[in-house]
Structure 1
Amino acid sequence: MSILRSTLRTTEPAYLANAGAYGRLLEQLTAARTGATAGGGAQASQAHLRRNKLLPRHRINALLDPGTCFQEIGQLAAHGLYDGTVPSAGIVTGIGIVEGRPCMVMANDATVKGGTYYPLTIKKQIRAQAIARENGLPCIYLVDSGGAFLPLQEDIFPDENHFGRIFRNIAEMSSLGIKQIAAVMGSCTAGGAYIPAMCDETVIVKGNGTIYLGGPQLVQAATGEIVDHQTLGGADVHTRMSGVADHLAHDELHALSIVREIVARPGPGRMAKPPLTPLAPLYDLAELPGLIPENPKHPIPAREILARMLDGSELNEYRERYGNTLICGTGAIGGFPVGVLINNGVLFSESAQKAANFIELCSQSDIPLVFLHNISGFMVGISYEQGGIAKDGAKMVNAVSTSRVPKFSVILGGSYGAGAYAMCGRAFGPRLMAMWPNARTSVMGGDQAATVLALVREEQLARKGQSSTPEEVEAFKRPIRDRYYADSTALNAASKLWVDAVIEPASTRAWLAMGLSLAAGSPRQGTRFGVFRM
């Protein structure tokens, strides 16, 4: 192991300018988080409380072990979408500790449109289930939902990853021995009724909890019967007569205590202890914002980042002198061994080959991989194409795709084009993926996209014997740049669930250590690589 040495001077003007620019970004993130946790607003929250119901995050706090943290997943989902009326996509999901066991908690927020499911609500819950499945986490569903948001039924009901996938996931995880537990705190209507009905065990709260495939209005319309909510599907009906629920709770705190008792039963799934002694980095994590250039076109100093990320600032670098636009090496985070890949420039053939070999070695030794993105893409040009950069890039993408060790991705700066794929982007199965507030991701940068499209337009005009003035070219390019700029932000990516969270640089080590701990206790699959084009 070699020690990474920092040359940073925190009094330099560039450091201070970088830290100031990051502070302004953090203000935007803080405002977005505040909106996400506000639920449906004060009036809806008060109406909820008057029914003797806890707010969703209060339910989660009461469920978790005292003094433990809740790692929220998809907090910023639907930010700025649906006219801003569905904060956090109407459901709170995340990983918390219950009776010493990490669990995936999914709590509907009935203050937001009655807890109904929008397209992003479904996407968010399916993502939470995927994390639970991969890490073997028991699932706890705190149900309080009016079912599907009917005006958007076409985007909710019929497709492979729509509402039905939630129920299929419950059944499949149960078959794998991953506990599925529901606590019905309020309404549980229509298709949503299958969540508690399909769970291993279900608790229902007296007076507020209801489960039915068709509510009183639908029953009256279909059969002419007039019935109230509790008589149709209340706690007494389902614990005494139907058997749909297993446990009757007198109130929500009682229901949560029953859930805790179920989770506490003997079984697998405890947090794994690190195999190595955790060591703090030699340099202060709080200095990371000052390392992020105010100008996103300037490089992020990769070794300075690693010096503040790795235990003891120690890195055993792989092929240090070869393909050095990508740094690869082994180290540890929070006492867990990791293989790290961090961009230090554009990807060339050499750096892609080096990455593929490094991923092979880590897979052979069962070492988790951490990808730290700051990549504009692969190098382009005549000599590089003739040299086979597409073939070499494909080796890296193949290795990332087929390696079965746990993988984690954090976008530190930019993540563009095929470079984003090669660095284990969302489509390549990272167990957790996050962005820093300054980070951006898109198929290419806004300037490049505007220039490419302008050149295509000029070629089309030339075939007609026409051309544009410089002013007309700029007028054509400006809205493209603006659109790419808006679409590539971390907030936009989080709102559409392209990443699981936007995290602050100083919390990155803790966020990764939590993921590594979960992965360490989960079942492993052997890696079998495909054909590498040589």
Structure 2
Amino acid sequence: MSGSALKSTLNLKSPDYPKNTRRIVDFLTEIKNEEERIRQGGGPKAIEAQHAKGRLTARERIAKLIEPTTSLFELGIYAAYEMYEEWGGAPAAGAVTGLGRVCGRLFMIIANDATVKAGAFFPMTAKKVIRAQNIAIENRIPTIYLVDSAGVFLPLQEDVFPDTDDFGRVFRNNAVMSAMGIPQITAIMGMCVAGGAYLPVMCDHILMTEGSGLFLAGPALVQAAIGQKSSAEDLGGAKMHAQISGTVDFREKDDESCLERIRALVDKMGAPDATPFSHATPRDPRYAGEEIYGIFSAEAAKQYDMREIIARIVDASEFEEYRAEYGETLLCGYARIGGWAAGIVANQKKNVQTLAPGSDEKRIEFGGVIYTESAEKAARFILDCNQNRIPLVFLHDVNGFMVGKDAE
């Protein structure tokens, strides 16, 4: 796919350009610092407690699992942001989810963060895990679960189960992925109790480290319920599940050996199905991506040309614009990003002059506003992309739909 190369008219010497750039850079620094705080999970003391058990944290496990020269493309780091403060908060909803490469193959990785309330499931934890599963289902991405969870956070258990995007959906997704032939690997690397114990046994491979537990009810609850005394190992330890119940496929001595076993299993997996999407050799945009920072003004009402953004994102800055003279407050068109074909739907943020319906007179249409013609164009373009298996990228900077008699 090739298109017309966009020509930039961005004035890098404008007095507003360095001011806009500094503002965005400062904002990105704030975001980076906040995300680093979130990545600390339950904090230094909780991390030390995890290490004292001979276990790695969720993020340390992921770092050792994926390719050494790569990093996790993390999803949902702001899940549960500033929520559950009365319970001490739940940074990243007590779970780490993202895309990572293991033995060269892309995986969705879902890991409980045991430094946050022992990895317990808050309502937002369930939604975050389900979101990751849905992405894996839609894109047929194999999934690895690194389980270290105390189960449902009991003070909020009434909010964990009731909806279609709540805790029970996790297990439904396990079944759907299995039926679709999407590989699922679970490593039990700590506690896996109560409702959380269902997930591992619905996966294709189950690994378990020494000192971990897999059971519906722990020793204290069993004794309270039926008066039976038992140890965690007797109820659901790694040795019991490896030798007696036969639930566990591989028993490992520690986190490191468990992660190495996962890599060995992945290395022997068959090749994934060929992608249905068009791909070509990637090409860099003609303009530096960092120049985007200088485009955005602190004044929200200030206009800019969205084509300047697109020119700094797409391969070779080439953009095949769809219905360029119609519905101009929405830009639609075909491009490539990293070699992959993409359909782009973007709000135009500068005012445009266009013919009024049924008239030869020109009218002004405001940037960032969706008019009837814009919406109709976008709907047809999205339909065409779906028909031709072209993924979509949406660039949003929108005030909403136009109002008034004509719009209605």
TM-score, normalisation: structure 2 = 0.91
Residue identity matched to 1:251 = D
Q: Partner of 1:82 in structure 2?
A: 84
CA distance in 2, matches of 1:79, 1:153: 19
The aligned runs of 1:421-436 (5 Å cut-off) are none
Q: Is the 8 A contact 1:362 1:368 kept in 2?
A: yes
The aligned runs of 1:323-402 (5 Å cut-off) are 323-344=327-348, 345=367, 346-385=369-408
Q: Is the 8 A contact 1:173 1:179 kept in 2?
A: yes
Decide which of 156, 164, 169 is 1:165's aligned counterpart.
169
Residue identity matched to 1:356 = A
Q: Partner of 2:181 in structure 1?
A: 177
CA distance in 2, matches of 1:262, 1:199: 14
Q: Partner of 1:213 in structure 2?
A: 216
Q: Partner of 1:111 in structure 2?
A: 115
CA distance in 2, matches of 1:150, 1:56: 22
Q: 1:317 to 1:30 in 2, by over 3 A?
A: same
Q: Partner of 1:255 in structure 2?
A: 258
Q: Partner of 1:155 in structure 2?
A: 159
Residue identity matched to 2:16 = A
The aligned runs of 1:27-46 (5 Å cut-off) are 27-46=29-48
CA distance in 1, matches of 2:162, 2:216: 17
Say whether 1:235 aligns with 2:238: yes
Q: Partner of 1:426 in structure 2?
A: none
Q: Deviations over 1:360-389 (max 9, x none)?
A: 33233322221111111111011221xxxx
Shift, 1:11, TM fit:
2.7
* Higher mean C-alpha displacement, 271-280 vs 173-182: 271-280
Q: Partner of 2:72 in structure 1?
A: 70
Residue identity matched to 2:250 = H
Q: Partner of 2:362 in structure 1?
A: none
Q: Partner of 1:127 in structure 2?
A: 131
Q: Is the 8 A contact 1:105 1:139 kept in 2?
A: yes
Shift, 1:156, TM fit:
0.7
* Higher mean C-alpha displacement, 13-22 vs 210-219: 13-22
Say whether 1:200 aligns with 2:218: no
Q: Deviations over 1:81-100 (max 9, x none)?
A: 11162111101011101111
CA distance in 2, matches of 1:30, 1:86: 19
Q: Partner of 1:226 in structure 2?
A: 229
Q: Partner of 1:281 in structure 2?
A: 285
CA distance in 1, matches of 2:91, 2:274: 31
Aligned CA-pair RMSD: 1.6
Q: Is the 8 A contact 1:122 1:156 kept in 2?
A: yes
Q: Partner of 2:18 in structure 1?
A: 16
Percent identity of paired positions between Structure 1 and Structure 2: 46
Shift, 1:289, TM fit:
1.1
Q: Partner of 1:55 in structure 2?
A: 57
Q: Deviations over 1:445-481 (max 9, x none)?
A: xxxxxxxxxxxxxxxxxxxxxxxxxxxxxxxxxxxxx
Shift, 1:135, TM fit:
0.9
Q: Partner of 1:410 in structure 2?
A: none
Q: Is the 8 A contact 2:335 2:342 kept in 1?
A: yes
Q: Deviations over 1:159-186 (max 9, x none)?
A: 3322111111111111111111110100
CA distance in 1, matches of 2:12, 2:159: 50
Secondary structure of 1:375's aligned partner:
coil
Q: Is the 8 A contact 1:100 1:270 kept in 2?
A: no
Q: Partner of 1:480 in structure 2?
A: none
Q: Partner of 1:139 in structure 2?
A: 143
Shift, 1:274, TM fit:
6.4
CA distance in 1, matches of 2:94, 2:383: 41
Q: Is the 8 A contact 1:144 1:187 kept in 2?
A: yes
TM-score, normalisation: structure 1 = 0.70
Q: Partner of 1:448 in structure 2?
A: none
CA distance in 2, matches of 1:313, 1:254: 46
Q: Is the 8 A contact 1:205 1:250 kept in 2?
A: yes
Q: Is the 8 A contact 2:63 2:71 kept in 1?
A: no
Q: Deviations over 1:111-133 (max 9, x none)?
A: 11011000111100000000111
Gaps of 5+ in 2: 349-366
Residue identity matched to 1:56 = A
Shift, 1:43, TM fit:
0.8
CA distance in 1, matches of 2:108, 2:174: 12
Q: Deviations over 1:394-434 (max 9, x none)?
A: xxxxxxxxxxxxxxxxxxxxxxxxxxxxxxxxxxxxxxxxx
Q: Is the 8 A contact 1:343 1:374 kept in 2?
A: yes
CA distance in 2, matches of 1:142, 1:221: 30
Residue identity matched to 1:371 = F
Q: 1:327 to 1:105 in 2, by over 3 A?
A: same
- Between the two proteins, the alignment pairs up a number of residues equal to 384
Q: Deviations over 1:130-167 (max 9, x none)?
A: 01111111111101000000000110134332211111
Q: Deviations over 1:465-516 (max 9, x none)?
A: xxxxxxxxxxxxxxxxxxxxxxxxxxxxxxxxxxxxxxxxxxxxxxxxxxxx
Q: Is the 8 A contact 2:122 2:152 kept in 1?
A: yes
Shift, 1:22, TM fit:
1.3
CA distance in 1, matches of 2:304, 2:217: 56
Decide which of 245, 261, 268 is 2:248's aligned counterpart.
245
Say whether 1:320 aligns with 2:324: yes
Q: Is the 8 A contact 1:101 1:270 kept in 2?
A: no
Decide which of 295, 308, 311 is 2:312's aligned counterpart.
308
